Amino acid sequence: MPTVTVNGVDLHYERTGNGPVTMVLVHGGFSSHTTWSVVAPLLAESGGVLAYDRRGHSRSGPPRGNITVGAHVADLVGLIEAVSTGPVWVVGTSYGAHVALRLAGSRPELVRGIVAHEPALLLSLIAADPDHGHLADDLSRRERTVAEQISRGDHEAAVRQFVDTVLGPGTWDLLPVERRETHIENAPAVLEEISDPDRNDFDLGTLIRFPKPVLLTRGEQSPAFFVPAIRRFEAALPHAEVVTFPGAGHAPHLTHPDAYARVVSDFVREHGG
């Protein structure tokens, strides 16, 4: 895999398609660039697509401190500036969607548009939601349990708790061995992310003047605690659209790759490619 050094960290990435990089894919928690391996070729029909391992994850690891949402945004800035000759589409899922939206608020000139699937887990937005605020305390407790399990070295138990919370009970046992190994490997990075005091907050005011198109997506079968963030981002963003994937959950790029790629590609084409 090629590497680019950004902010003192070697970020490993994989490029798919021909021509200049027009899209960057940002993975979620416990994951790696490989989560995009099925949809990347489908998204690359109109240009180069780049998927990378965030700092502390997989080939861009191991963690060496400062694994925060702010650091991830700064890394994404450096990566785009290093590999692209102009603004790009940024597509993120879960924690990666959070990173993508923060980039939109802080460096809009680097972005052609955003596709964000179920930004997670923004407890402050959940707690403030009149319909779902009661879920915040339980999620906070689950998050603390995950952190405690990772801290004492029980990485598999931590990842099982996380996966079964966001993807549904029993999902961990159904995952391919390779995905389970990746999730376990990246648990130490997630511990640092959980410890980041900024990860559960978002200054929605940074997005009010964002002039580019944004597609917010959710899965029909996803847990209800993803709804508040999507509601708040839709209200804050002047050019946002929301799409729900029928029958899908928190990972439509894995469970419904054709539908996911079609929705993203159509949105990109509708807004100038």
| pLDDT tens figures, 103-136 | 999 999 999 999 999 998 899 999 999 999 999 9
| pLDDT tens figures, 16-65 | 999 999 999 999 999 999 999 999 999 998 789 999 999 999 999 877 78
Q: What is the pTM of this model?
A: 0.97
Q: What pLDDT was estimated at residue 130?
A: 93
Domains of the chain: 3-270 (3.40.50.1820)
| pLDDT tens figures, 170-212 | 999 999 999 999 999 999 999 999 999 999 999 999 999 999 9
The three-state DSSP-derived secondary structure of the chain is: CCEEEECCEEEEEEEECCCCEEEEEECCCCCCHHHHCCHHHHHHHHCEEEEECCCCCHHHCCCCCCCCHHHHHHHHHHHHHHHCCCCEEEEEECHHHHHHHHHHHHCHHHEEEEEEECCCCCHHHHHCCCCCCCHHHHHHHHHHHHHHHHHCCCHHHHHHHHHHHHCCCCCHHHCCHHHHHHHHHCHHHHHHHHCCCCCCCCCHHHHCCCCCCEEEEEECCCCHHHHHHHHHHHHHCCCEEEEEECCCCCCHHHHCHHHHHHHHHHHHHHCCC
